[in-house]
Amino acid sequence: MFARLFRRKTADAAARDIYVRLVEQARLPAFYTSFGVADTVEGRFDLLVLHVFLVLHRLKDAGEAAAARGQAVFDIFFADMDDSLRELGVGDLAVPKRIKKMAQGFYGRTAAYDAALVAGDDAALAEAIGRNVHGGHGSGEEAAALARYARAAATGLAGQPLEAVLAGRFDLPDPDAFAPAGPGETE
């Protein structure tokens, strides 16, 4: 009965579709088996940040509707993080502090990714990914492979019609196509 009083305002359906699409992509097993992303809360968060960034990067400077949709995706992302923290048992008083720390991390990570993409600096993108997604523990090749994936995703999103991206009907590359070569394999 009282649940309706405490429900979050329903975000627009297209923003939710975008977010669901990004979560599905970030959960693909290849990222964890081939790219060295840790299958932990932190690893999954960092990989999702990268994917949310890619769509926000596409929507940046694309007009008022794109800015509003990007803000809605951002809001859904952090509402989901809030819900996830509560499900993990983080206390009500600690959740806002954790969300604030996550938001600071989000802004720092996305600033580094954006600067590298805009500059066309794949080494800087790989370095930022290695530092953030891999927590400084992945191999240089894993970070470079994930950077190649991210660059291809950003390029692919830029080439898709804005209306399709705004509606959550966009394509992202298959991560297996960018996976680093395993021991004894050649690229």
What DSSP string runs through 74-133?
A: HHHHHHHHHHHHHHTT--TTTHHHHHHHHHHHHHHHHHHHHHHHHHT-HHHHHHHHHHHT
- Phi-psi bin for 135: left (phi > 0), alpha (psi -120 to 50), beta? left
| CA separation for the pair 6, 153 (Å, rounded) | 37
Domain of residue 32 covers 11-171
Q: Residue 181: inside a domain, yes or no?
A: no
CB 54 within 8 A of CB 137: no
Q: Residue 179: inside a domain, yes or no?
A: no
In the chain, the amino acid numbered 174 is D
Question: Would you give per-residue pLDDT tens digits along the chain (187 residues)?
Answer: 334 434 444 458 999 999 999 999 999 999 999 998 999 888 888 999 999 999 999 999 899 999 999 999 999 988 887 777 777 776 777 777 877 887 888 888 999 999 999 999 999 999 999 998 887 665 689 999 999 999 999 999 999 999 999 999 999 999 999 998 764 454 4
Q: Residue 117: inside a domain, yes or no?
A: yes
Longest Cα–Cα distance in the chain: 61
CB 172 within 8 A of CB 25: yes
Q: Residue 180: inside a domain, yes or no?
A: no
Total domain count for the chain?
Answer: 1
Q: pTM for this structure?
A: 0.85
Q: Residue 30: inside a domain, yes or no?
A: yes
Q: Residue 45: inside a domain, yes or no?
A: yes
Q: Which of 185, 156, 186 is nearest to 54 (CA)?
A: 156
Q: Residue 93: inside a domain, yes or no?
A: yes
Q: Residue 136: inside a domain, yes or no?
A: yes
pLDDT, position 186: 46
